[in-house]
């Protein structure tokens, strides 16, 4: 049976860096969908889609993450890592106090993951860029909504300790007993 492993945490906590390291170590990884959605919107002349049309942005994210989830089922890989999961979508909507259709939560209940690795906010590594504009303080707040969303769905979060890229990646791999 395939293990679907999700890396969660607020913006700028090191998830994508670890995904890139896992790829270097020959693990199959699904990239973060939001950057693709943001870049596509910018090409269409919408500078901040999430801020101007949060529900549309979130629907696009949900579709992308659901597509990744079902695509992974067709892979021969025993382990697939995801840079964020489906529940992240409604967690962010809750953070922004934006109403969303009930199917957002239904998708989170239907598409289950094996393990969730949580990356706590870490001010030393937090940066912003053209697609990540949240401050460190906002990242901390978002993180609480992510924790709530996943724990309310019955997941036990595995906290990834601060450390080097190698140390953090090694911790995840050892936690899976797949070395």
Task: Output the pLDDT for position 160.
Answer: 97
Predicted pLDDT at 107: 96
How many CB atoms sit inside 10 A of residue 112's CB?
13
CATH of the domain at 8: 3.40.50.300
Closest CA to 83 of 164, 2, 4, 25: 4
Q: Say which residues have a Cβ less than 8 Å from residue 144's Cβ, sequence separation at least 6.
A: none
Segment among 4-8, 18-22, 130-134 with least mean pLDDT = 130-134
Q: What domain range is 154 assigned to?
A: 3-176
> What is the model's pTM?
0.90
Contact present, 147 and 155 (Cβ < 8 Å): no
| Residue listed under structure tokens 């303080």 | 137
**Percent residues over pLDDT 90 in the chain:** 65
**Residue 88 is encoded by which pair of tokens?**
């992240």
Per the structure, how many domains does the chain have?
1
SS (H, E, C) 53-74: CHHHHHHHHHHHHHHHHHHHHC
The confidence band for 41, taking pLDDT boundaries of 50, 70 and 90, is: confident
pLDDT for residue 179? 43
Query: What is the mean pLDDT of the segment spanning 23-50?
Result: 82
């Amino acid at each position: 049976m395939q293990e679907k492993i999700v890396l969660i945490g607020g913006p700028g906590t090191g998830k994508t860096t670890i995904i890139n390291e896992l790829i270097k170590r020959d693990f199959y990884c699904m990239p973060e969908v939001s950057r693709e959605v943001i870049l596509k919107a910018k090409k269409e002349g919408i500078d901040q889609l999430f801020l101007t049309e949060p529900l549309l942005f979130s629907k696009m994210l949900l579709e992308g993450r659901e597509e990744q989830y079902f695509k992974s089922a067709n892979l021969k890989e025993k382990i697939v890592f995801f840079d964020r999961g489906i529940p992240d979508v409604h967690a962010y909507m809750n953070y922004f106090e934006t109403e969303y259709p009930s199917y957002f939560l239904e998708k989170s209940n239907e598409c289950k993951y094996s393990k969730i690795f949580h990356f706590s906010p870490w001010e030393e590594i937090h940066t912003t860029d053209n697609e990540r504009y949240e401050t460190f303080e906002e990242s901390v707040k978002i993180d609480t909504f992510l924790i709530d969303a996943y724990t309310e769905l019955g997941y036990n979060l595995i906290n990834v300790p601060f450390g080097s890229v190698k140390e953090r990646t090694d911790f995840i791999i050892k936690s899976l007993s797949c070395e």
